[in-house]
Chain A
Amino acid sequence: MPATWRINRAVPAVFVAGCAAASLLVAGCSASLVAADGASADAGPHVQGQGLTPDNCAICHRAHTAQAPDLLKEPETELCYTCHGGAATGAATDVVDGIGYSNTERTGTPGALRGGGFKYALIDSAHPSGQGSEGSDPAGVVPELAGGAAVTSAHSVDSSSQMAWGNGPISAEPNDGNAVSLSCGSCHDPHGNGMYRILRAIPIESGATTGVEIPQPEGMRHLYTTTNYWDVEDEYAPAFIAGVSAWCSACHTRYLSSTSYTESGDAVFTDRHISNGTTQGSPSCIQCHVAHGSNASVDAAGSFAVHSPQELPAGPGSRLLRIDAKGTCRMCHAEK
Chain B
Amino acid sequence: MAPGDETFPLGREPLPDAGGSITSGAADRLTEEERKRRRRKIAALAGILVVLAIIIYMIIRALSGSSPLPSIPSELPHYVSDIYGTDQPMGVAVSPSGGRIYVTESEGPRLVRIYDSSGHQLGTLKPPGHNQAWHLPVYVAVSPRTEDVYVSDRLRQDVDVYSPTGKYLGALRPTGHLGKGAQPLGLAFGSEGDLYMTDVGGPRQDHRVLVFGSSGKELLRKVGSPGTFWFPNGLALDGKGDLYVADSNDGRLEIFNPAGKPAVSIERGVGEGDLGLPRGVAIDGNRLFVVDTTAQVVKVYRLPGQVTEVPAYIGSFGGEGIGDGQFQYPNGIAIDHNGRIYVTDRVNGRVQVWEY
> Which residues in A have some Cβ–Cβ distance to B below 8 Å?
1-9, 11-13, 15-16, 19, 38-39, 44-45, 54-56, 58-60, 62-63, 67, 73-74, 78-79, 82-83, 85-91, 94, 96-97, 99, 101-110, 119-120, 122, 146-149
- Interface range for B: 35 or more
CA distance A60 to B295 in the complex (A): 9
| Least distance between B77 CB and chain A CB atoms (Å) | 23
- Is the CB–CB distance between B251 and A59 below 8 Å? yes
As a 0/1 sequence over residues 82 to 122 of chain B, the CB contacts with chain A under 8 angstroms (1 = contact) are 00000010100000000000000011001000000000000
Q: List 23 A-B contacts (CB under 8 A).
A: A4-B175, A12-B127, A39-B203, A44-B230, A44-B249, A45-B249, A58-B268, A58-B269, A62-B270, A73-B294, A74-B296, A86-B88, A86-B136, A87-B136, A89-B248, A89-B279, A97-B155, A104-B203, A106-B201, A106-B206, A108-B202, A110-B155, A148-B131
Bound complex: CA of A241 vs CA of B130, how far in Å?
35
Inter-chain CA distance A19–B296, complex, in Å, is: 36
Q: Is the CB of B231 within 8 A of A89?
A: yes
Interface check B38, CB cutoff 8 A: no
CA distance A83 to B249 in the complex (A): 9
Contact of A7 among B170, B203, B328 (CB under 8 A): B170
Instruction: For chain B, residues 206 to 259, give those with C-beta under 8 angstroms from any C-beta of chain A.
Output: 206, 212, 216-220, 230-231, 233, 248-249, 251
* CB pair A5 B212 closer than 8 Å: yes
> Among B8-16, B53-61, B180-188, which stretch is in contact with chain A?
B180-188
Q: Are B154 and A8 in contact (CB under 8 A)?
A: no
Q: Which of B149-180 contact A (CB under 8 A)?
A: 154-158, 161, 169-180
Q: Are B106 and A147 in contact (CB under 8 A)?
A: no
B294 engages A74 (CB within 8 Å)? yes
Check B173–A5 contact: CB distance below 8 A.
yes
Query: Which residue from A1, A19, A94, A149 sits with its C-beta under 8 Å from B176?
Result: A1
Partner of A15, one of B106, B156, B161, B178: B156
- Give me the interface of B with A, judged by CB distance under 8 Å: 88, 90, 106-107, 110, 127-134, 136, 138, 154-158, 161, 169-183, 185, 201-204, 206, 212, 216-220, 230-231, 233, 248-249, 251, 267-270, 274, 276-277, 279, 293-296, 320, 328-329, 331, 347
Taking A58-B270, A85-B106 as known contacts, 6 extra A-B pairs with beta carbons closer than 8 A to each other, sorted by chain A number, are A3-B179, A4-B179, A67-B320, A89-B90, A107-B181, A147-B130
CA distance A280 to B92 in the complex (A): 48
* In the complex, chain B residues whose CB is within 8 Å of the CB of A4: 174-176, 179, 217-219
Chain A residues near B249 (CB-CB < 8 A)? 44-45, 83, 90
Asked if A119 contacts B107 (CB within 8 A), the reply is: yes
Flag if A102 contacts B202 (CB, 8 Å).
yes
Which residues of chain A have C-beta atoms less than 8 A from B294's C-beta? 59-60, 73-74, 79, 82
Q: Is the CB of B131 within 8 A of A88?
A: no
Q: Contact check: which of B129, B216, B267 meets A5 at CB < 8 Å?
A: B216
In the assembled complex, how far is the CB of residue A323 from the closest CB belonging to chain B, in whole angstroms?
Answer: 20
Hey, which chain B residues are within 8 Å of A148, CB to CB? 131-134
The reply to whether A59 and B277 contact each other, CB–CB distance below 8 Å, is: yes
A89 with B171: CB separation less than 8 A? no
The 4 closest A-B pairs by CB, nearest first: A148-B133, A3-B176, A106-B202, A147-B134
Q: How far is the CB of B174 from chain A (nearest CB, A)?
A: 6
- Chain B residues with Cβ below 8 Å from A38 are 203-204
What CA separation (Å) do A171 and B300 show in the bound complex?
61
A97 to B158, CA, bound (A): 18
CA distance A106 to B181 in the complex (A): 5
Which chain A residues border B201 with CB–CB below 8 Å? 101, 106-108
Give A107's nearest chain B residue, CB to CB.
B181
Residues of B within 8 A of A6 (CB): 172-175, 217
CB distance from B206 to the nearest CB of A (A): 5
Cα–Cα, bound, A109→B183 (Å): 10
Is B133 in contact with A120, judged by CB distance below 8 angstroms?
yes
- Which residue of chain A is the closest to B329 with respect to CB atoms? A82
Contact B203 A59 (CB under 8 A): no
Docked Cα-Cα span, A107 to B157, in Å, equals 10
List of A residues within 8 angstroms of B161 by Cβ: 7
User: B172 contacts which of A7, A13, A107 (Cβ < 8 Å)?
Assistant: A7
Question: How far is A86 from B130 in the complex, measured between Cα atoms in Å?
Answer: 16
Query: Which residue from chain B places its CB closest to the CB of A11 in the assembled complex?
Result: B171
Contact with B133, one of A78, A104, A149 (Cβ below 8 angstroms): A149
Neighbouring A residues of B88 by C-beta, 8 Å: 85-86
Chain B residues within 8 Å of A79, by CB = 294
**B175 CB contacts on chain A under 8 angstroms:** 3-6
Complex-state Cα separation, A109 to B296, whole angstroms = 33
Q: How far is B115's CA from A162's CA once the two chains are assembled, in angstroms?
A: 40
Q: A4-B217, A97-B133, A103-B202 are in contact. Are A90 and B248 (CB under 8 A)?
A: yes
CA distance A148 to B179 in the complex (A): 27
Give the complex CA separation of A89 and B247 in angstroms.
Answer: 11
